[in-house]
Amino acid sequence: MKQKSKARILSIVLKPRSFDEINKILEENASKDCDLILLPETCLGNESTLSMDSEELKKVSAIAKKHGKYIIFPCYRKTAQAERLNSAILFDRTGKETGIYDKVYPYWEEFDLSPPVTPGNDVPVFETDFGTIGIAICFDVNFPGIWKQFRQKGARLILWASAYSGGRSLQAHAINYNYYIVTSTQYPDCHAFDITGQEIFYEKSDDVGVYLNEVDLDRSIFHQDFNMYEKHDKILKEQTGKIERDNWHDKEGWFTLRAIKDGVSVRALAKEYEMEELPQYKMRSEAEIDNMKE
């Protein structure tokens, strides 16, 4: 089956509450036209710590399967090795647990909990039927190393579950690493940034908010370096009616391309025209110049 490139992300923003309330909210919204549902960090609060075989997570899995949606469920989690992890659990469209991210940088107060939180030690990415995603949690936003790893591992969308809003800190990562970022917070609010770092959505709720964002993970960003003018002009001329340049950033030396015809992939065409996307260009330049220093 051909992979989709566009995904509709449903962010449910709210302050922590009981599982029965969360379950009801999920059931009420899971039938909406979306691909993935994102909830805030530790949406059940500090007093609830779940094991993977808990009845609560079985119910989340059942909702994902019933409605054919990916669900990211953030909660405190316990394992045989750790009494408390701040986790975001990814269920796929069949209800299968297909990935877990454990918060690498817990906030200081989490170490005062009983039992205290154990930091995670890995920054995985996850494959979905619409592209490669990463998951980060709250205080992680302050540590660029995590966000650089997402780009190195090929993530094109980051889902950020949090207690607070994040704002410009998130925007900086979208600018530096050129992936979409969509959030769900306890604040409660939802932010979305595109691959240029532009804020494309922001809403805040007084109670429970449900916000939908569509992202195009095939849309691609390029530096003018080595792409102007021959490759840029050639691809736009020869692929007229299939792709278009939708943004030109003169100060940054960037431009973005997107497909405008079904079944066409900018990423695939760019490879044919030997055009290197901006994140790959920066990573390759960094590695090759560092090698020159040795």
pTM of the model: 0.97
Residues 230, 99 share a domain? no
Domain count of the fold of the chain: 2
Q: What is the four-CA torsion angle of 90, 95, 96, 99, rounded to 10 degrees?
A: 0
| CATH number of the domain residue 35 falls in | 3.60.110.10
Mean pLDDT, each 10-residue run in order, the chain (294 residues): 83 98 98 98 98 98 98 98 98 98 98 98 98 98 98 98 98 98 98 98 98 98 93 97 97 98 96 97 97 92
Which helix (DSSP H) or strand (DSSP E) does residue 289 occupy? helix 278-293
Burial letters 140-150, b for 16+ CB under 10 A, else e: bbeeeebbebb
User: What single-letter DSSP state applies at residue 240?
Assistant: B
Answer with the one of 216, 239, 274 that is the final residue of a domain.
216
Residues 80, 23 share a domain? yes
Residues 236, 113 share a domain? no
Residues 161, 39 share a domain? yes
pLDDT at 1: 42
Count of all residues that appear for the chain in the document: 294
Burial letters 75-86, b for 16+ CB under 10 A, else e: bbbbeeebbbbb
How many whole angstroms separate alpha carbon 178 and alpha carbon 175?
A: 6
Domain that holds residue 157: 6-216
